[in-house]
Structure 1
Amino acid sequence: MDGYKHYVRTNAAGLVIHGFSSAFETPEQTDACIDENGGRHFMIELRNERGQFRYRYENGTLVERGQSDLDAEWNARPPAPPTKEELREKRAADLEKALANLYTKGVV
């Protein structure tokens, strides 16, 4: 093609977290070259529609992760933090409950 090298960078789990061309970036020692004669731009989409890393680098090869692996990772993620609206609603419900307790005790 254009004579540029394409590299990938992995995390500790072996997931490909970054891909680039030698046209724009200098590789680090741990980066793996996956194409010796690629185009100027690295064109592989590394994330899926849920933002998960799609590939693993194993034994010198880019391997696409299976759907069951991606689903297991997705299901294990921590829950999203509550929104401001949800926090407001929780506080209002807590206040109503506390006020109801005061009424039943005859304080108010």
Structure 2
Amino acid sequence: MEETLGDPGFFKRLFKSLSTPDTKYSREKLEDEPDQRLIEAFINEGNERAFEEIVNRYACKIYGLALRITRNQSDAEEVVQEVFLTLVKKLDTFRGESKFSSWLYRITINASY
């Protein structure tokens, strides 16, 4: 069965697969990688661990921003999910003209309203 980005089980399988050892992309190696390298690894190589590292770096910040805008924990949690789903679908459209974090925060702001 082919996986699609809109598949609701994508994140569940993604995080479950992260417990599998991977010598090429260990957590230690990815923690030191710049955002652009993680983006390239996810888009070009299908490296799900790179996407997990992006999630680890930004989930709390996205949640905090969404919470300040929505003023509701449930809504903020939904925004975080929506942002990462959008990210999976549109990560290849990031042009690098601004910082990745700025682009991600703009997606968060848009998803919060």
- TM-score bracket, normalised by the shorter chain, equals under 0.3
Choose 1 or 2 for highest CA Rg.
Answer: 1
Higher relative contact order (CA 8 A, sep 6+): 2
Structure with greater strand percent = 1
Structure with greater helix percent = 2
Give me the TM-score of the superposition, normalised by structure 1.
0.27
Give me the TM-score of the superposition, normalised by structure 2.
0.26
